[in-house]
Structure 1
């Protein structure tokens, strides 16, 4: 049940690796804080379509810029656990041709994470819980 005002729209990226033998999901950990394993995501800007926002957020947060596909998966409304607000969340599946197994990236853009370093790595989907219910639609990339 949604009992809070929707204050922002967010775009979430489930990125899988094209050449992997088994399905692999790109995740990151914040280099300076223990906030859990996450996927790239961020706020949709005014006038921006969700599919445009997810590509921009992935570029800013991971440095990845080239994708074989960007496919919508689901849209929902999620109550924030610690704050009295809710987000409209748009989930996408992106496929990347990325050879690196892990890397660090300094976030760019104008958001609050600008300059923060994220440590990226690949996991098998479903092998660890993602922070803040980010894995709610993970089964859809396995189909």
Structure 2
């Protein structure tokens, strides 16, 4: 998750356009030879099209049941600080998908896929 402080703590979220796969945060899988922290940084760069994020701060891991694919997955969560000057909204195209980014209140981000449940308290310092 990417966070920033403005008037309040905010979380970077996106929508896939035009499909309706819900409000999400940059995320993805760990590639062969990569650590979870390296994967978090890479996925953030790839999905946002931006660079300059802070070093990943490990927040924790959970086992998640992927009902769609009927398997258990280990999910790792990291906080990356927003680089200075990141705009309030932008679009980025990657892997034939359009990501529409915006900042949402960390206190109530309204993420889909039940990802709100994984947001820890006190991630902004």
Deviation at 1:115, TM superposition (A): 1.9
CA distance in 1, matches of 2:85, 2:17: 21
Once the two structures are superposed, the pairs formed by residues 82-97 of structure 1 within 5 Å of their partners are 82-96=68-82, 97=84
Match of 1:118 in 2: 99
The equivalent position to 2:9 in structure 1, one of 16, 23, 39, is: 23
Q: TM-score, normalised by structure 2?
A: 0.89
Corresponding residue for residue 102 of structure 1: 89
Where do 5+ consecutive residues of structure 1 fail to align? 1-13, 108-113
> In the alignment, which residue of structure 2 is the partner of 1:9?
none
Other-structure match for 1:55: 41
**1:124/1:30 Cα in 2 relative to 1: closer, same or farther (>3 Å)?**
same
SS of corresponding position for 2:87: coil
User: For 1:33-72, what aligned pairs fall within 5 Å after superposition?
Assistant: 33-72=19-58
* C-alpha deviation, 1:142, in angstroms: 4.9
Residue 83 of structure 1 deviates from its aligned partner by: 2.2
Runs of 4 or more off by more than 3 Å in structure 1? Answer: none
In the alignment, what sits opposite 1:127?
108
TM-score, normalised to structure 1, is 0.78
Give aligned pairs, total: 123
Say which is worse superposed, 87-96 or 63-72, in terms of deviation. 63-72
SS in 2 for 1:34: coil
Q: Tell me, what secondary structure is at the counterpart of 1:132?
A: coil
